[in-house]
Amino acid sequence: MTLSKTQPKSVVLYDTTLRDGAQRKGISFSLEDKLKITKLLDDFGVTFIEGGWPGSNPKDFEYFQRVKSMKLKNASIVAFGSTRKANCNAEDDANLQRLLEADTPAVALVGKSSSKHVLKVLRTTLEENLEMIKDSIRFLKKNGKEVIFDAEHYFDGFEEDKEYTLKALQAAEEAGADWLVLCDTNGRHLPSNIARIVAETKAVVSAELGIHAHNDSELAVANSLAAVEAGAKQIQGTINGYGERCGNANLVSLTPTLQLKMDYSCVPHGSLCRLTELSRTVSEIANLSPDPYAPYVGSAAFAHKAGLHAAAVEKFAASYEHMQPELVGNSREILISELSGRGNVRLLASQISSNLPFAEQEVLDRIKGMEQKGYKFEDAQGSVELMMRRDDPDYEKPFELIEIMVVVNDRVGQGSSAEAVVKVKVGDTVFHTVSVGKGPVHALDCAFRKALLPTYPMMNDVRLVDYKVRILDPDQATEATTRVVIEAADHNERWSTVGVSDNIIEASCQALVDSLELYLARSFSSSYSANAHQVQEVVA
């Protein structure tokens, strides 16, 4: 894609999650993973999707064959490779032939622009490297490709031997490269250096410039923005900043910054509201936990814990938020803890019901007293919600726990199992159930479900998704107090509850019972679904 000179406020997003992002330690995308991410990126509106290096492995080559059948709406697929080898013809270079076989409309070609790297890594002459760049690009242009030239180690080379580095870039432009992408390959440079060098380069070449920044100094986003302000029109990066070593420029942070704060057009109107979903879905595909503290899209990005902050946000949202969370598909969260004020409690209550009767100070005092005993509610807002619901004089508990018993069996050579016995009262009926599980919590969960399902068939939709145990006073050894947090989910939402006891089974049972009761309380509350997201409207 070549930008029109009449689009000074447009920036092209070039995603390399499938190649550079896959080089992160711990990530290994399957072919199906890569195709799923391609669909997500195209739906979001990315202009270029770099699919991989077809000359490096069979999976990447197969990707380019499979992706042809996808009906993409916004993106051009890019195959990545390097300039030809020294002292040969482009037509005879196996890597360049593989790029043609990938049959993509665009090709990214990496080449050396640092004289030091030419001499010490390629071990060829400076003049031969220039011929490698020109010969390779001419070959690809002759075969109808849009060519994106990635000038590797460009900023290092510019500082070490400016004359040669510019010669390498001019050789690429002379050969017909559509884009000249300047690479901070080692992530060494500062935004001021990036801006200065991009500006100096722009004065010498006429082709459109791009920036490819690595995050080794945690400046990849800042460097990319500096490059744009200096005249770069393309940003290369990855979703969530995945990449080798410390990662690449994070498109999840860059896109809303460019579009909402700098007035650049990057993705189609309406795409930004899917940014949080995109970030978290790619995390799941990569088998990595989403970063709760990620700017814009993290679960804590718009979370308010301090009472002073919550009180201010209730009156004026922008007092402690740099933007509306809904613009990027995120939401505000009011945390409850010993640091909270009445505003935190009031805002949380408004999410539950618009007319929930409760005493703010009384609830707050109870929370602070319980946290002194070891409870922690900022990661278990479900327990606070249930506490408020139970304070309503009209609240009717969906069930009442009468008794539990858990037995763990460990037979030599046969492994271990657990058996739970649960006695639960629902209305006027007492259910006495027994279940076997892989462990005590699994057995309890199964026994409760067996007791509740006859009355509440919607319990089939609930699943436990996380179980966390924290020993609060390890110096007490086996008599230590234990805190258990259980996270549960249905098809639409997640919630967490907490239990504390010097008996881990009792703590687990507290958290589990609260989790199940909260789900049923929400299910039978006509106001919950209508008010679940009302806090955004209240404080907007």
Residue 530 resides in a domain:
no
Residue 8 resides in a domain:
no
Instruction: Name the token pair of 390.
Output: 């139970």
Residue 259 resides in a domain:
yes
Domain that holds residue 127: 13-285
Picking from 155, 163, 161, the residue whose alpha carbon sits closest to that of residue 190 is: 155
How many structural domains are present in the chain?
3
Do residues 139 and 58 both lie within one domain? yes
Q: What are the Cα distances from residue 441, in Å, to 281, 399, 410, 416, 484?
A: 29, 19, 16, 13, 11
Q: Please give the Cα distance from 202 to 207 (Å, whole number).
A: 8
CATH assignment at residue 454: 3.30.160.270
- 3-state SS assignment for residue 142: helix
Q: Please give the Cα distance from 23 to 36 (Å, whole number).
A: 18
Do residues 382 and 405 both lie within one domain? no
Burial of 32 (0-12, 13-18, 19+ CB in 10 A): exposed
Do residues 346 and 247 both lie within one domain? no
Do residues 261 and 368 both lie within one domain? no
Per-residue pLDDT of the chain (540 residues; tens, 9 = 90+): 545 444 458 999 999 999 999 999 999 999 999 999 999 999 999 999 999 999 888 999 999 999 999 999 999 999 999 999 999 999 999 999 999 999 999 999 999 999 999 999 999 999 999 999 999 999 999 999 999 999 999 999 999 999 999 999 999 999 999 999 999 999 999 999 999 999 999 999 999 999 999 999 999 999 999 999 999 999 999 999 999 999 999 999 999 999 999 999 999 989 999 999 999 999 999 999 889 899 999 988 877 665 555 555 555 566 667 888 999 998 766 665 554 555 566 666 555 555 655 556 677 777 777 777 777 777 778 888 888 888 888 888 999 999 999 998 876 666 778 899 999 999 999 999 999 988 889 999 999 999 999 999 999 999 988 888 888 776 666 667 888 999 998 887 888 899 999 888 999 999 999 999 999 998 887 544 434 433 333 222
Picking from 522, 523, 516, the residue whose alpha carbon sits closest to that of residue 401 is: 516
Do residues 468 and 329 both lie within one domain? no
Picking from 99, 85, 17, the residue whose alpha carbon sits closest to that of residue 56 is: 99
Do residues 477 and 372 both lie within one domain? no
Q: What are the Cα distances from residue 153, in Å, to 117, 142, 181?
A: 8, 27, 11
Q: Please give the Cα distance from 20 to 218 (Å, whole number).
A: 17
Residue 347 resides in a domain:
yes
Torsion of CA 269, 270, 271, 275, to 10 degrees: 130
Question: Contact 41/49 with Cβ under 8 angstroms?
Answer: yes
Residue 431 resides in a domain:
yes
- Give the single-character DSSP code of 84: P
Do residues 351 and 487 both lie within one domain? no
Q: Out of 221, 256, 285, pick the residue that ends a domain.
A: 285
Picking from 509, 514, 470, 476, the residue whose alpha carbon sits closest to that of residue 495 is: 514
Do residues 247 and 224 both lie within one domain? yes
Q: Please give the Cα distance from 257 to 222 (Å, whole number).
A: 11
